[in-house]
Amino acid sequence: MAHWVDVCSVDDLQPNSGVCALIEGQQVAIFYMPKEKTVYALNNYDPFGNANVLSRGLIGDIKGQPVVASPLYKQHFNLQTGACLEDETVTIPAYDIRIENGRVKVSINAE
Amino acid sequence: MSAKQVLIVIGNGMVGQSFLASLVDSGLNDHYKIVTFCEEPRAAYDRVHLSSFFSGKTAQDLSLAEPDFFEKNGITIYIGDKAARIDRDNKTVTSSKGVAIQYDKLVIATGSYPFVPPVPGHDRKNCLVYRTIEDLEAMTVAAKTGKVGTVVGGGLLGLEAAKALKDLGLETHVVEFAPRLMAVQLDDAGGAMLRHKIEQLGVLVHTGKNTSIITDGEQCVNKMCFADGEELETDIVLFSAGIRPRDDIARDCGLEIGPRGGIAINNQCLTSDSDIYAIGECALWNGMIYGLVAPGYAMARTVAADLAGNEASFTGADMSTKLKLMGVDVASIGDAHAKTQGALVYTYQNGASEVYKRLVVSQNKKQLLGAVLVGDASGYGTLLQYCLNGIELPENPDALILPPRSDESVGLGPDALPNSAQICSCYDVTKGAICQAIEAGSTTLGSLKEKTKASTGCGGCAPLLKAVMNCELAKHGYVVNTDICEHFAYTRQDLYNLIMVEQIKTFDELLENHGKGKGCEICKPTVGSILASYWNEYILEKEHIGLQDTNDTFLANMQKDGTYSIVPRITGGEINPDMLIALGQVGKKYKLYTKITGGQRVDMFGARVDQLPHIWKELIAAGFESGHAYGKSLRTVKSCVGSTWCRYGIDDSVGLAVELENRYKGLRSPHKLKFAVSGCTRECAEAQGKDVGVIATETGWNLYVCGNGGMKPRHADLFATSLDKETLIKYIDRFLMFYVRTADRLQRTAVWMENMEGGLDYLKAVIIEDKLGLCEQLEQQMQYVIDTYHCEWKTTIEDESKLKRFRHFINSDKADDNVVFVEERGQIRPADEEERKHFKIVEVA
Ligand SMILES: Cc1cc2nc3c(=O)[nH]c(=O)nc-3n(C[C@H](O)[C@H](O)[C@H](O)COP(=O)(O)OP(=O)(O)OC[C@H]3O[C@@H](n4cnc5c(N)ncnc54)[C@H](O)[C@@H]3O)c2cc1C
Ligand code: SF4
Ligand code: SF4
């Protein structure tokens, strides 16, 4: 069963950019694209740079895939799946996320 | 092969060095033990660009051999040791310092020396020549005390030397024996046009003058007396009356010498001794001495091939030349004097625009035999190709020199050239070689130059090189993709123009009208930067914040562990003790690691994102401003202490640096910009390694541009001299804005200029002569940016809503537990992975 955690209000998000939330001890990067009315959640840890920085990366799309670029060494991660575009052996955790009545909810231990 | 054979090369000049490089390229250094004698106090340097010594190039910049070239390739070089004697019976060369070495093969590359006419007084004080770096140093010294300089000889080299005298600030004269300038290359009318132009530039020309004696002057050090009774007072006499081959060493050992000098060689460059070759300006082939470097290079390649057992022969070389003499284009091709039997001549002369052109064609009007161009040499590349490759001329050959009356260009398309066509004559690069390099992935002018060396000699072939490149790229369907990314099918310059013309203010608007998709980390910061350069709005406005790189978003520099460093502005590196103490207090309070930067500021490391606004509040209260170290923008204006304190100082370098830094602070640009100002030519601020460098001289400020440190250092080019402050600032305004407008993303000024067609000369034409009519606009745009400057940190801490972003977690006040510091040399540093694991365990337990 998915377990949804109430994180913050949509107004706390940064349009076209990311923020980081602490959810059950995990650092979660949350990205918000207001034009598409979409939110994405990935683990905040950059496995190449070994630092918690992905929420501070630039977002956009590459060949139609929504991505974030690491601010340290610029690898791209798919915002939906967490797959790294430059190195197919690397995938970072991606989490379910939704907006309900203006609140942002994340489920970090979906099976 | 058992024991290595010994190969001796006498002379390490341009040709000698090129020969060594050819040997190494073909692996012959494995077969021969190579020894070279180098008379000069340094290994080979670029004599062709010798004059650039006066525009700031150093002996090191001009060097042709990498410092480790000799050692790496097992070549022994005796620097500052002249070969004194060749003993052909014992096959031994003995040097003036007494080194004696036996050879199996010997190559003589001793070059030539400047001919000094034996007039009485030719060896008086300040009577100089123009051939080596030492000669130039002697000129510089003589010019310090002199006011008048005279060049004897109005040939190519003489005029180049005259320019040098002029640049040294002397009243300059040229004295020529022949009735016209550049008698070898030009006809009477061409010579007259050139003379007129050069006189307009303030050089006094005296033709048909025969110097009979040089004696004591009254106002000057020397006085030249001419056969016609006239006299000329001058401090410096610079002889440039032709060259003579250095054939003594060959003469002394009985090798065959031409009747008027020169070591006679055959098509393999062999002398009358089958173990001795001669190459370069000391060699006489078919009765000819070639005073240019390209034929020497061709000889060097021939000998290298011959030694490798490959068939090769030197069969003469083209003597066509194109150059800019004091800003005047001059070119001469092939049989310029129409000496070929039956040759026909077409002449075009335009007195108003001071252009003279002459074509020499074969009797049947099908072949181009030669040409002379003065004032406009743009047709050089095309004409040379017609001439060298025997391409059939169009029906009306004169169309090639008449100004185009319609848009239609009569130029020879690069497509019409055979692969064997020589594009760059300095380095003998053929069209085929260029095509190969393009196929191997060199698709920009800059990388083609680097790979093939084409256009890195005299530069005359640059337009043709570009034409060949464009044509090849198009043909290969290699559409050169200059699109900035998949979201915009435009270059950065296109985007700048779109934003300017349509007055676009946001990324979304630009994307909607001209792009597709959502954008990415390439186009977003690029557009963010252009918008900031053009509109200069606060970069953290809601519409702009998502465009900024993380450094810009948090107005600080992210380090490897995700913490930030902070660099407040310290204009010109000038800081009073109170401010210094304030910095120390902030550093101490927040336990930051502090380090002095190369740009004369203080960098404070290890700040967490949530600490940034607190730290800045204190810094601003103490009087600091953002240093923009995080942005692609002006970083620092480094300065030396200058005339205020330094006993050598000529002007107030700190004052100017502070003024420049305050003027341009905050300007967003395609890449970072670094400046420096030195108070005298001792150059303690290293201004010649910066994008913009300024050096004080007795006569005003000298401006240097497009220098670079970093990964690929580049010496800056002298852009303008003896400027007053107002003009200096005007030029810098224009230069910066032109760069901001036209450079690619992340392109430093050095690369920007190297890729610019026309290079430095073009840039000067745009900035100084206002060739594009842009200068007023550029200055206005700069003024707008200056007027709308604001400190981004001040704006940020005054706006509560902006501060929301400066927390690690949106839903917690905790800090990032992955950030761990340990101590080293009394300060913090990020823990490495091992230390971090250890630390965490300890903390949990
Ligand atoms: C100011 C200037 C501008 C020029 N511009 C151009 C141009 O635009 N285009 C062009 O094509 N050419 C130009 N030239 C000519 C070009 O520099 C020469 O053609 C070229 O340098 C010839 O090379 P080289 O090796 O034969 O002679 P050099 O470069 O003179 O080298 C000969 C070397 O041998 C040394 N040497 C002599 N005797 C001995 C000995 N016995 N033992 C040891 N060493 C010895 C000399 O000291 C010297 O270092 C220019 C020359 C000058 C001076
Ligand atoms: S560059 Fe000149 S003025 Fe400046 S510190 Fe050095 S010697 Fe003094
Ligand atoms: S030189 Fe390299 S290691 Fe040093 S600061 Fe620059 S990028 Fe970092």
The nearest CA of chain A is from the CA of B818 a distance in Å of 7
Mean pLDDT of chain A: 90
Which helix (H) or strand (E) segment holds residue B113: the answer is strand B112-114
- Average pLDDT for residues B447-460, to the nearest whole number? 77
B264-315 residue pLDDT tens: 999 999 999 999 999 999 999 999 999 888 899 999 999 999 999 999 899 8
Q: What does the pLDDT read at residue A78? A: 95
- Beta carbons of B805 and A14 less than 8 Å apart: yes
- Beta carbons of A51 and B487 less than 8 Å apart: no
- Say whether both B754 and B725 belong to one domain: yes
* Minimum mean pLDDT range among B27-36, B215-224, B464-473: B464-473
Q: Which residue of B has its CA nearest to A63?
A: B486
Q: What does the pLDDT read at residue B841? A: 42
Cα B529 from Cα B632, distance rounded (Å)? 8
B824 part of a folded domain: no
Assign B34 to helix, strand or coil.
strand
Q: Which atom number of ligand 2 is nearest to the Cα of residue B683?
A: 1
- Average pLDDT for residues B361-365, to the nearest whole number? 88
- Say whether both B763 and B654 belong to one domain: yes
The nearest CA of chain B is from the CA of A59 a distance in Å of 6
Cα B332 from Cα B505, distance rounded (Å)? 53
Residues in chain A with CB shorter than 8 Å from the CB of B810 are: 7-8, 12-13, 19-21, 30
- Beta carbons of A58 and B561 less than 8 Å apart: no
CATH code of the domain covering residue B396: 3.30.390.30
- Say whether both B233 and B262 belong to one domain: no
- Average pLDDT for residues B188-206, to the nearest whole number? 88
CATH code of the domain covering residue B265: 3.50.50.60
CB under 8 Å to B324, separation ≥6 — which residues? B330, B761
- Say whether both B643 and B745 belong to one domain: yes
Task: Note whether A60 contacts B: Cβ–Cβ < 8 A.
Answer: yes
B462-514 residue pLDDT tens: 777 887 887 887 776 666 667 888 899 888 988 998 998 889 999 999 999 99
Q: What does the pLDDT read at residue B839? A: 63
Task: Note whether B552 contacts A: Cβ–Cβ < 8 A.
Answer: no
A24 part of a folded domain: yes
Task: Note whether A9 contacts B: Cβ–Cβ < 8 A.
Answer: no
Task: Note whether A5 contacts B: Cβ–Cβ < 8 A.
Answer: no
**B241 with B117: CB under 8 angstroms?**
yes
Cα B693 from Cα B688, distance rounded (Å)? 6
pLDDT classification of B408: cutoffs 50, 70, 90: very low
B-interface mutation test, from A13, A53, A74, most B Cβ less than 10 A away? A53
Task: Note whether A20 contacts B: Cβ–Cβ < 8 A.
Answer: yes
The nearest CA of chain B is from the CA of A1 a distance in Å of 24
Q: What does the pLDDT read at residue B844? A: 34
Task: Note whether B818 contacts A: Cβ–Cβ < 8 A.
Answer: yes
B772-791 residue pLDDT tens: 888 999 999 999 999 999 99
Cα B827 from Cα B821, distance rounded (Å)? 9
Over the range B464-500, which residues count as b (16 or more CB within 10 Å of their CB) and which as e? Answer: bbbbbbebbeeeeeeeeeeebbbbbebebbebbebbe
B842 part of a folded domain: no
Cα B823 from Cα B837, distance rounded (Å)? 16
Is residue B458 part of an annotated ligand binding site?
no
Cα B320 from Cα B368, distance rounded (Å)? 13
Q: What does the pLDDT read at residue B592? A: 95
The nearest CA of chain B is from the CA of A14 a distance in Å of 8
B601-624 residue pLDDT tens: 999 999 999 999 999 999 999 999
Q: Which residue of B has its CA nearest to A33?
A: B518
CATH code of the domain covering residue B602: 3.90.480.10
Q: Which residue of A has its CA nearest to B806?
A: A19
**B436 with B454: CB under 8 angstroms?**
no
- Average pLDDT for residues B661-675, to the nearest whole number? 95
Q: What does the pLDDT read at residue B703? A: 96
**B704 with B694: CB under 8 angstroms?**
yes
Is residue B640 part of an annotated ligand binding site?
yes
The nearest CA of chain A is from the CA of B199 a distance in Å of 58
Q: Which atom number of ligand 2 is nearest to the Cα of residue B695?
A: 1
By residue range, what is the domain housing residue B532? Answer: 492-545
A71 part of a folded domain: yes
Cα B468 from Cα B429, distance rounded (Å)? 12
Mean pLDDT of chain B: 89
A102 part of a folded domain: yes
Q: Residue B1: pLDDT above 60?
A: no
pLDDT classification of B407: cutoffs 50, 70, 90: very low
CB under 8 Å to B476, separation ≥6 — which residues? B438, B439
DSSP β-ladder status, B692-697 and B673-678: parallel
- Beta carbons of A62 and B520 less than 8 Å apart: yes
CB under 8 Å to B541, separation ≥6 — which residues? none
B65 part of a folded domain: yes
Q: Residue B658: pLDDT above 50?
A: yes
CB under 8 Å to B436, separation ≥6 — which residues? none
N-to-C CA span, chain B: 72
Q: Which amino acid is at B543?
A: E
- Say whether both B641 and B735 belong to one domain: yes
Q: What does the pLDDT read at residue B21? A: 93
Sole residue written with tokens 């020879």: B412
- Say whether both B693 and B713 belong to one domain: yes
Is residue B225 part of an annotated ligand binding site?
no
The nearest CA of chain A is from the CA of B584 a distance in Å of 28
Is residue B646 part of an annotated ligand binding site?
yes
- Beta carbons of B545 and A14 less than 8 Å apart: yes
- Average pLDDT for residues B426-444, to the nearest whole number? 83
Tell me which ligand sits closest to the C-alpha of residue B597: 3
Q: Which residue of B has its CA nearest to A21?
A: B809
Helix axes B293-307, B14-25, angle to 10 degrees: 40
Percent of chain A with pLDDT over 70: 97
Which of the pair, B527 or B803, is modelled with greater confidence? B527
Q: Residue B517: pLDDT above 50?
A: yes
CB under 8 Å to B490, separation ≥6 — which residues? B483, B484, B498, B514
Q: What does the pLDDT read at residue B707? A: 93
B236 part of a folded domain: yes
Boundary of a domain, candidates B375, B408, B441: B408
- Beta carbons of A67 and B816 less than 8 Å apart: no
Tell me which ligand sits closest to the C-alpha of residue B132: 1
- Beta carbons of B818 and A64 less than 8 Å apart: no
- Beta carbons of A20 and B805 less than 8 Å apart: no
Give the 3-state secondary structure of B315-353: CCCCCCEEEEECCEEEEEEECCCCCCCCCEEEEEEECCC
Neighbours of A47 (CB within 10 A): 16
Give the dihedral of Cα atoms A69, A74, A78, A82; nearest 10 deg.
-110
A43 part of a folded domain: yes
Q: How many domains does chain A have?
A: 1
Q: How many domains does chain B have?
A: 7
- Say whether both B732 and B775 belong to one domain: yes
Residues in chain A with CB shorter than 8 Å from the CB of B819 are: 52
A65 part of a folded domain: yes
Task: Note whether B647 contacts A: Cβ–Cβ < 8 A.
Answer: no
Q: Residue B845: pLDDT above 60?
A: no
- Average pLDDT for residues B535-545, to the nearest whole number? 88
Q: What does the pLDDT read at residue B409? A: 44
By residue range, what is the domain housing residue A61? Answer: 5-106
The nearest CA of chain A is from the CA of B736 a distance in Å of 28
Q: What does the pLDDT read at residue B352? A: 75
- Average pLDDT for residues B39-45, to the nearest whole number? 95
Cα B664 from Cα B623, distance rounded (Å)? 19
Is residue B649 lining ligand 2, measured as CB closer than 6 Å?
A: yes
Q: Which of B156, B281, B318, B426 to mutate to test the pocket of ligand 1 (most atoms within 8 A of CB)?
A: B281
Beta strands in B253-383 (DSSP E): 263-265, 276-278, 283-285, 321-325, 328-334, 344-350, 355-361, 368-374
Boundary of a domain, candidates B211, B241, B271: B241
Which phi and psi angles does B281 have, rounded to 5°? -75, -5
Q: What does the pLDDT read at residue A110? A: 54
Q: Residue B840: pLDDT above 70?
A: no
Q: What does the pLDDT read at residue B459? A: 65
A111 part of a folded domain: no
- Beta carbons of B562 and A51 less than 8 Å apart: yes
Sole residue written with tokens 């072939």: B461
- CA-based nearest residue to B371, from B382, B363, A40: B382
CB under 8 Å to B613, separation ≥6 — which residues? B796, B797, B803, B806
pLDDT classification of A46: cutoffs 50, 70, 90: very high
Residues in chain B with CB shorter than 8 Å from the CB of A17 are: 545-546, 553
Distance B560 CA to ligand 3 centre (A): 11
- Say whether both B58 and B105 belong to one domain: yes
Edge-to-edge strands, sheet with A76-78 = A58-62, A65-69, A76-78
Residues in chain B with CB shorter than 8 Å from the CB of A61 are: 517-520
CA-based angle B88:B91:B93, to the nearest 5?
Answer: 90
Q: Residue B539: pLDDT above 70?
A: yes
Out of A23, A50, A60, closest to residue B521 by CB? A60
Q: Which residue of A has its CA nearest to B519?
A: A60
A48 part of a folded domain: yes
B826 part of a folded domain: no
Which phi and psi angles does B261 have, rounded to 5°? 95, 170
pLDDT classification of B803: cutoffs 50, 70, 90: confident
Distance B104 CA to ligand 1 centre (A): 25
**B499 with B488: CB under 8 angstroms?**
no
Q: Which of B38, B85, B110, B157 to mutate to test the pocket of ligand 1 (most atoms within 8 A of CB)?
A: B110
Instruction: Enter the tokens of residue B93.
Output: 């060369």
- Say whether both B224 and B347 belong to one domain: no
Q: Residue B15: pLDDT above 60?
A: yes
Out of B486, B560, B609, closest to residue A63 by CB? B486
Is residue B684 lining ligand 2, measured as CB closer than 6 Å?
A: yes
B273 part of a folded domain: yes
Instruction: Enter the tokens of residue B253.
Output: 């050992």
Q: Residue B842: pLDDT above 50?
A: no
**Measured CA distances, A56 to A11, A37, A91, B479, B521 (Å):** 18, 20, 18, 35, 12
Residues in chain B with CB shorter than 8 Å from the CB of A22 are: 809, 811-812, 814
β-sheet bridge partners, residue A105: A6, A98
B779 part of a folded domain: yes
- Say whether both B536 and B647 belong to one domain: no
- Say whether both B25 and B153 belong to one domain: no
Q: Residue B93: pLDDT above 60?
A: yes
B-interface mutation test, from A56, A78, A79, A104, most B Cβ less than 10 A away? A56
CATH code of the domain covering residue A56: 2.102.10.10
Q: What does the pLDDT read at residue A74? A: 86
Q: Residue B424: pLDDT above 60?
A: yes
Distance B572 CA to ligand 2 centre (A): 14
Q: What does the pLDDT read at residue B97? A: 95
- Beta carbons of B520 and A67 less than 8 Å apart: yes
Q: What does the pLDDT read at residue B81? A: 96
- Average pLDDT for residues B52-61, to the nearest whole number? 83
**B143 with B236: CB under 8 angstroms?**
yes
Q: Residue B124: pLDDT above 90?
A: yes
B792 part of a folded domain: no
Q: Which atom number of ligand 2 is nearest to the Cα of residue B647?
A: 8
Q: Residue A97: pLDDT above 50?
A: yes
Boundary of a domain, candidates B209, B241, B273: B241
